[in-house]
A and B are shown apart, each in its own frame.
Chain A
Amino acid sequence: MKTAILEGRRVTKKFGGLIASKQIDFEIQEGEIFGLIGPNGAGKTTLLNLINGIIPMTSGEIVFCGQRINRLKPYKITRLGIARVFQIARTFEDLTVKENVLVGQLFGKKKSKNISRGMKEAQAILDFVGLGEKRNHRTSEITLADRKRMEIARALTMAPKLLLLDEVMAGLNPREVKDMMEMILTVNKKGITILLIEHVMKAIMGISTRVMVLHDGKRIALGTPKEISENAEVVRVYLGERFSIEWSL
């Protein structure tokens, strides 16, 4: 029986008068790829920010591997085993590709202070994501797709149990999307659970084990991609008729 690696219970977030997240319940099974979709402004990134501890929750709980994490500081949550790739790239501008990954290596879960060992591991991870040759490039010199890979590499060196990916396919061409899908699947096969926000429907529906749909801060559906695409409300609110027809073909 699969265990839940991350659970959210009645997760609620208010920004002054605006309720960004309304009593969201969810659980992510260990080892699955969990997709999160919904229209813009539905509260997807907010949920990720709440999981990471960057913003405080108004009420509710988030439990990771049996431990309540909603009151913890972000660095503590990271060290427990959650890594994040942001929607708008947060690369350290003045550092090289390798150094960017190194930062994750030094301070993530394994927290080593040894630079030379860290560099070696960073190198290995970069090879894994296919950026081995660009390791000494400045981040301003690499393409968008590469930058996303670098951020994933940085997240991976932190030895996470759960990887949060926020729209990593935005701005990629179809070829790059396919590569990214493959990489996510490979990472998942190594045993890392993945929570994935995407707008590229084919991608997220194609690789997710289950999908949760948010609308206006509320969860309106949770199930396998097939179940979601057949859910009338989801179709109405977000997917549109055309997609559900495409999907069922």
Chain B
Amino acid sequence: MGNLGRSAWIIIGGGIFFFLLALPLTLSGYWVRLFTNIFLFAILAESVNIIAGYCGYLALGNIMFFGLGAYVEAVLMTKCGLSFFPSLLAAGAGAGIFAVLIGLPILRLKREYFLMGTMVLLILLREITSNISITGGGQGISLPLFPGNAARSNLFFYYLMFVLMNLSIACTFFISRSYLGYAFRAIRFDEDTASVMGINPTPYKTAAWALSAFFTGLAGGVYAYWMTYIEPGDVYHVAPSIKMFLMMVLGGGGTVLGPVAGAFFIEFISEFVWGRFLEIHFLILGLILVLVCIFTPKGFVFLFQGGFRLSKLMAGVKENKV
């Protein structure tokens, strides 16, 4: 992990943790909301990491679970009068269950077809949501307002997202240390080989996608309550999906903290550099994506692990060039 020792990293990590814990008490609402947004993306990136980074299944449409969670939350709160936290749990659980069900046919597809399948599912869910009345169709849904003033609201969502982010990190950490992690990585390497090693890929892939969906759905649920208004094009949008992949790849797919680091990095750039240059937003995003794919396909973690060297940047190219 770079040239610093393990204990040094733990101290740094702890420092960041406490800094973030205390942040809302010292910084203004602007910063609190900014970080809440960063945590949101960190959750998304960390979640997609489980299915894509560890298992190698490129769920490009994973944002569908975000939308699903948001809408489950919204419908339960508005049409069933359920309060926030139970709805939130239902949102996560609903997304997870949906992943298990849809995983039955979809996870069996070859990687390329799985990728396409998730993109199509995203479109399908968006269209269905736009066309049925219980979700308000294309008009969207307004959720009940958070009881409390703006300051309280900021704090509530900040800490909620913070907790969720840490939960997803903890979950990934435990996976990486357990037999699940080894199974996932074996599957990513080559499913046939994994099978010959005695791993039955199906339950593992399904568990990975369900976990990924669960956290993504939770994030969607929180987002819905935070924004108090959602519409299909907003929560089933492809751009955040790509962003979370970018964050995962940039930080390092298949690592515990890589996607989180990627999320912080991209969101900071997002806010301060090209927030000013809105009209080249996509261009920069695309450029970063292209550069990352070429020079650091394995992400920051691998780049800095064992010491940074310029030659590491070219290593990816040497390996993958035709």
Contact = CB atoms under 8 A, between A and B. Distances in A.
A74 interface: yes
B298 to A, nearest CB: 9
B192 A104 contact: no
Contact of A115 (B177, B189, B195, B201): B177
B179 A158 contact: no
B190 interface: yes
A78 interface: yes
Nearest to B177: A115
B186 A103 contact: yes
Nearest to B193: A90
Contacts of A73: 195, 200
Contact of A107 (B190, B199, B254): B199
B191 to A, nearest CB: 10
Contact of B198 (A54, A86, A94, A107): A107
A78 B196 CA distance: 6
B15 to A, nearest CB: 29
- Chain A's interface size range is 20 to 34
B162 to A, nearest CB: 30
Contacts of A84: 196
A118 B196 CA distance: 18
Interface in A82-100: 84, 86, 90, 92-95, 99
Nearest to A110: B198
B178 interface: yes
A31 interface: no
Contacts, number: 68
A54 B182 contact: no
Contacts of B178: 113, 115
A113 B179 contact: yes
Contacts of A76: 200
Contact of B196 (A52, A93, A99, A109): A52
Interface in B185-215: 185-186, 189-190, 192-201
A147 to B, nearest CB: 14
A86 B190 CA distance: 13
B64 interface: no
B192 A74 contact: yes
Interface string A178-189: 000000000000
Contacts of B186: 92, 103, 107
A221 B31 CA distance: 79
Interface string A224-236: 0000000000000
B266 interface: no
A234 to B, nearest CB: 30
B197 A103 contact: yes
Interface string B162-196: 00000000000000011100110110011011111
B199 to A, nearest CB: 5
B198 A104 contact: yes
A126 interface: no
A163 to B, nearest CB: 12
B305 to A, nearest CB: 11
Contacts of A79: 198
Interface string B148-165: 000000000000000000
Most chain B beta-carbon contacts within 10 A, residue among A84, A92, A118: A92
A136 B194 CA distance: 21
Nearest to A111: B198
Nearest to A79: B198
Interface of A: 52-54, 73-76, 78-79, 84, 86, 90, 92-95, 99, 102-104, 106-109, 111, 113, 115, 118, 154, 158
Given A74-B196, A108-B197, 18 more contacts: A53-B195, A74-B192, A74-B195, A75-B196, A75-B200, A79-B198, A84-B196, A90-B190, A93-B189, A102-B182, A103-B197, A106-B179, A107-B179, A107-B197, A107-B199, A108-B198, A115-B177, A158-B198
20 contacts: A54-B195, A73-B195, A74-B192, A74-B196, A75-B201, A90-B189, A90-B190, A92-B185, A92-B189, A95-B182, A95-B185, A104-B197, A106-B179, A107-B182, A107-B199, A108-B197, A111-B198, A113-B179, A115-B177, A115-B178
